[in-house]
A = this chain, B = another copy of it.
């Protein structure tokens, strides 16, 4: 066939903020599956903050993307040719097939999903970000009814689920987000008890007012000055699931944390984690998340970019907080 496979490659390792010139868009031949393999046409691409780490060769928990290689990324797609008996043409599959329109895989890295839910949900609320929220809050945050749960980046793909799950456990859910629009979304649509705007000059005062009984669980996605504002609000025996530090990802020098001592005085348990190292918990998490979505008890919004060529710009917007809810790319 005359069709080509559009791909986005990592062109250069960014210094500080990512720019569009750090990516290169190419067209290659569509690969053919061998025995045991399938050819997938990707229909949705996920954009996530962790990708910033993979662009860098700073020491991290995962190997970086090689310069010249296809950018890593979660995808939803349709099987268009199968030489693997476990898959049939037309199956809907979720995997990590990267920033490209077509990919061949042996099937071990993808799983079939129910096409009756909106397909892009498998990249967000019923996918990696949703499981991240579930695992961090339930397993590492161990929230108890009546406690106060605070989450940063509350309007994002992870944070939005954290707060709704906290409410489902009988907790007070307080979000931190950037700007009045995002805060209104967090309280009015997502049902958090409060949301505080970190860009507002009275942020610290507003945070104190929103957490009159202190903070028992702080689900951390951002770090930086937001972290330093929350640390003094922690209660004794508070828990911090440490999921992300997006404030540092584009910084040349990381932010220095002033109130580290609060971890001692409050006997805090902090746990850094990445969701891909806890695969045993995914089935339990996904079962609850998909059920809640079906019942309308777990809501979400998406910011959709159209076409793979828009992915670099949308990713930069994500890092700058320009999205509302889960950032995805609808492929042509």
Contact = CB atoms under 8 A, between A and B. Distances in A.
Task: Tell me what chain A mostly uses at the interface: helix, strand, loop, or mixed.
Answer: loop
A332 B259 CA distance: 42
B257 A266 contact: no
A114 to B, nearest CB: 31
Contacts of A223: 260-261
B277 A264 contact: no
Interface stretch (A124-132, A144-152, A156-164, A267-275): A267-275
A205 interface: no
B277 A272 contact: no
Given A61-B236, A236-B61, A256-B256, A267 B274 contact: yes
A152 to B, nearest CB: 13
Contacts of A256: 256-258, 260
Contacts of A123: none
A116 interface: no
A257 to B, nearest CB: 5
Given A61-B236, A256-B258, A258-B254, A270 B263 contact: yes
A268 B270 contact: yes
A81 interface: no
B265 A61 contact: yes
Contact of A270 (B60, B258, B270, B277): B270
Interface in A272-314: 272-274, 277
A267 to B, nearest CB: 4
A298 B7 CA distance: 63
Given A256-B257, A258-B254, A260-B223, A273 B267 contact: yes
B265 A60 contact: yes
Contacts of A242: 263-264
A61 B259 CA distance: 15
A250 to B, nearest CB: 13
Nearest to A236: B61
A292 to B, nearest CB: 27
A187 to B, nearest CB: 28
Given A61-B265, A61-B266, A245 B272 contact: no
Most-contacted residue by chain B among A223, A227, A256 (CB, 10 A):
A256
A271 B244 CA distance: 19
A264 B244 contact: yes
A271 B269 contact: yes
Contacts of A227: 260
Interface of A: 59-61, 223, 227, 232, 236, 242-245, 248, 253-261, 263-274, 277
19 contacts: A59-B265, A61-B236, A223-B261, A227-B260, A242-B263, A242-B264, A243-B264, A244-B264, A248-B261, A253-B258, A254-B261, A256-B256, A256-B257, A256-B258, A256-B260, A257-B260, A264-B272, A266-B272, A267-B272
| Nearest 10 Cβ contacts at the A-B interface | A256-B256, A270-B270, A264-B272, A267-B272, A257-B260, A257-B257, A263-B272, A256-B258, A60-B265, A268-B272
